[in-house]
């Protein structure tokens, strides 16, 4: 076989394949011989049908099968010979097969682009610092203090004030239309909680048990429910109970009650360590995301449409699985900018693959063993048991994880990383 490839674009090529008649003749003879062994033609016993009769009856069928097989073999030859990375079914109109003539066909293939270089020296990533302020430690201790608080009815009873836990029921009308799905009965809310809708806490403050009132609320423009964004609502609220929180003192006894600390200083140090670990993980995740953004912005690359469509299908499947797990419906906002998000993922995959190839970033057995040892140490699991668990598909997944870690370590070394309080939102 002989094949030639001409580039239409970085993501599409035209392949021309020529199959010599001698190869075709052999394939036809083998196919006719196979068919002759089982051919059932009236007037002839099975296996005794003359070759010319077989050719006359089954000629079109055999030629079509041989042509199909030749096209498959020809495309495979072209892919291997020219190192093509096809990503979709080829576009081809199979020509007829003639005797004594070489078979020639042309196909258009969508391919993964071949990158000869990837610019890494100009990457700039801006991330927020991971430092933990003392105020964050105090806030976490306050949350823990609130979790350990006792609840009781005020004596004597008084109007609701910040810090109280209220039991309420309400109905909701949005733009004058009743919304039964938004109603609540015996719902507990903490007055002063930052998660309460603006105006809701103001309306509840000062109410007494048994009191009812209408609260006019405007949902924020960034509300997660697209059907409520910016809408005006009236909450008819009834307050049934007020309980005040009796907060324990933040002292050594409080630390001891948590079970593993002797002093408040030990507890504070532990809280700070956990917040610092969380901030470090957040910064690493944000940095990874920003490095991908910088890599894409610095290196222009075309993406095959079929890869984007496949990525969109996978993202939609993941969304449906997540929504089902969380017991919620998929909303129109879930589809916002889906094309761009899928395109970004495909670009990232192409560029990272090129970086791995060009920079010779590889993962050998020693790297996998080192990762398993690290996992064993951090989890407390037996290393030998982990090695048994990570076989087959799980080992392949671990291989991909280690390769990704190596790639991002490389990007981090090459990039200029700047810390700023306004690093921007995380991309998908």
What is the 3-state composition of the chain as percent helix, strand, coil, each rounded to the nearest 5?
50, 20, 35
Q: Does the pLDDT value for residue 149 go beyond 70?
A: yes
Last residue of a domain, one of 246, 276, 305: 246
In a domain, 131, yes or no: no
Residues 6 or more apart whose Cβ sits within 8 Å of residue 347: 296, 301, 303
Q: Does the pLDDT value for residue 204 go beyond 90?
A: yes
Domain hosting 327: range is: 286-419
Task: Please check whether residues 196 and 102 belong to one and the same domain.
Answer: no
Over residues 73-128, the pLDDT tens digits come to 999 999 999 999 999 899 998 888 888 999 999 999 999 998 999 999 999 999 98
Number of domains in the chain: 3
Mean pLDDT, rounded, for 289-301: 95
User: Exposure pattern of 5-41 as b/e (b: 16+ CB <10 Å)?
Assistant: beeeeebbbebebebeeeebeebbeebbeebbeebeb
Over residues 273-291, the pLDDT tens digits come to 999 999 999 999 999 999 9
Last residue of a domain, one of 246, 267, 294: 246
Task: Please check whether residues 208 and 326 belong to one and the same domain.
Answer: no
Over residues 381-413, the pLDDT tens digits come to 899 999 999 999 999 999 999 999 999 999 999
Neighbours of 168 (CB within 10 A): 21
Given this model, what pLDDT does residue 195 score?
A: 80
Q: Does the pLDDT value for residue 139 go beyond 80?
A: yes
Angle (nearest 5°) at CA 424 between 423 and 427:
120
Given this model, what pLDDT does residue 422 score?
A: 64
In a domain, 116, yes or no: no
Over residues 224-262, the pLDDT tens digits come to 777 888 899 999 999 999 999 899 999 999 999 988 899
Task: Please check whether residues 316 and 404 belong to one and the same domain.
Answer: yes
In a domain, 120, yes or no: no
CATH number of the structural domain spanning residue 324:
1.10.3120.10
CA 322, CA 46: separation in Å to the nearest integer?
A: 59
In a domain, 352, yes or no: yes
Given this model, what pLDDT does residue 272 score?
A: 94
Q: Does the pLDDT value for residue 299 go beyond 90?
A: yes
Please, are residues 285 and 128 in contact by the beta-carbon 8 Å criterion? no
Neighbours of 120 (CB within 10 A): 20
Please, are residues 276 and 409 in contact by the beta-carbon 8 Å criterion? no
CA 84, CA 161: separation in Å to the nearest integer?
A: 70
Task: Please check whether residues 413 and 299 belong to one and the same domain.
Answer: yes
Q: Does the pLDDT value for residue 427 go beyond 70?
A: no
Q: Between 116 and 428, where is the model more confident?
A: 116
**Among 75, 123, 106, residue whose Cα is nearest residue 6:** 106
Mean pLDDT, rounded, for 20-24: 93
CA 175, CA 158: separation in Å to the nearest integer?
A: 34
In a domain, 428, yes or no: no
Any idea how long the chain is? 428
Instruction: Share the mean pLDDT of the chain.
Output: 90
Mean pLDDT, rounded, for 160-185: 92
Given this model, what pLDDT does residue 224 score?
A: 75
Given this model, what pLDDT does residue 59 score?
A: 84
Q: Between 38 and 17, where is the model more confident?
A: 17
Q: Does the pLDDT value for residue 47 go beyond 90?
A: no
CATH number of the structural domain spanning residue 52:
3.30.70.1050
The residue written with tokens 């996978």 in the block is 314
CATH number of the structural domain spanning residue 210:
3.10.50.40
pTM: 0.72
In a domain, 294, yes or no: yes
Given this model, what pLDDT does residue 428 score?
A: 54
Q: Does the pLDDT value for residue 24 go beyond 90?
A: yes
In a domain, 280, yes or no: no
In a domain, 54, yes or no: yes
Task: Please check whether residues 320 and 370 belong to one and the same domain.
Answer: yes
Task: Please check whether residues 304 and 404 belong to one and the same domain.
Answer: yes
Over residues 314-363, the pLDDT tens digits come to 998 888 888 788 777 776 667 778 889 999 999 999 999 999 999 999 99
Last residue of a domain, one of 215, 231, 246: 246
Q: Does the pLDDT value for residue 37 go beyond 90?
A: no
């Amino acid at each position: 076989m002989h094949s030639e490839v001409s580039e239409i674009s970085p993501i599409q090529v035209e392949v021309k394949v020529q199959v010599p008649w001698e190869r075709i003749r052999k394939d036809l003879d083998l196919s006719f011989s196979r068919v002759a062994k089982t051919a059932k033609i009236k007037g002839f016993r099975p296996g005794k049908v003359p070759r010319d009769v077989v050719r006359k009856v089954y000629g079109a069928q055999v030629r079509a099968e041989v042509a199909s097989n030749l096209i498959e073999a020809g495309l495979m030859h072209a892919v291997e010979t020219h190192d093509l990375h096809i990503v979709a079914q080829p576009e081809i109109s199979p020509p007829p097969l003639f005797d004594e003539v070489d078979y020639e066909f042309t196909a258009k293939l969508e391919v993964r682009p071949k990158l000869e270089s990837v610019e890494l020296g100009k990457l700039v990533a801006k991330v927020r610092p991971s430092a933990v302020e003392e105020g964050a430690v105090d806030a976490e201790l306050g949350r823990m203090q609130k979790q350990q608080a006792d609840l009781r009815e005020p004596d004597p009873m008084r109007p609701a004030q910040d810090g109280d836990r209220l039991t309420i029921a309400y109905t909701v009308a949005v733009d004058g239309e009743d919304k039964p799905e938004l109603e609540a009965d015996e719902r507990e809310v903490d007055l002063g909680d930052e998660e309460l809708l603006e105006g809701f806490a103001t309306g509840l403050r000062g109410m007494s048990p048994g009191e009812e009132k209408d609260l006019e609320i405007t949902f924020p423009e960034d509300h997660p429910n697209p059907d409520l964004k910016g809408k005006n609502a009236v909450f008819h609220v009834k307050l049934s109970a007020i309980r005040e929180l009796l907060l324990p003192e933040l002292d050594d006894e409080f630390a001891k009650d948590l079970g593993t600390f002797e002093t408040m200083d030990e507890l504070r140090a532990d809280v700070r360590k956990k917040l610092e670990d969380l901030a470090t993980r957040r910064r690493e995740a944000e940095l990874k995301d920003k490095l991908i953004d910088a890599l894409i912005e610095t290196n222009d690359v075309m993406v095959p449409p079929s890869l984007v469509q496949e990525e969109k299908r996978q993202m939609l499947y993941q969304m449906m699985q997540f929504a089902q797990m969380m017991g919620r419906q998929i909303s129109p906002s879930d589809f916002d900018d889906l094309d761009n998000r899928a395109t970004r993922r495909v670009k990232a995959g192409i560029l990272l693959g090129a970086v791995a190839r060009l920079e010779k970033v590889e993962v050998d057995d020693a790297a996998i063993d080192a990762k398993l040892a690290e996992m064993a140490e951090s989890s407390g699991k037996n290393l030998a048991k982990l090695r048994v668990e990570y076989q087959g598909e799980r080992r392949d997944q671990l291989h991909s994880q280690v390769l990704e870690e190596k790639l991002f370590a490389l990007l981090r070394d090459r990039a200029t990383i700047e810390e700023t309080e306004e690093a921007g939102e995380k991309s998908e």
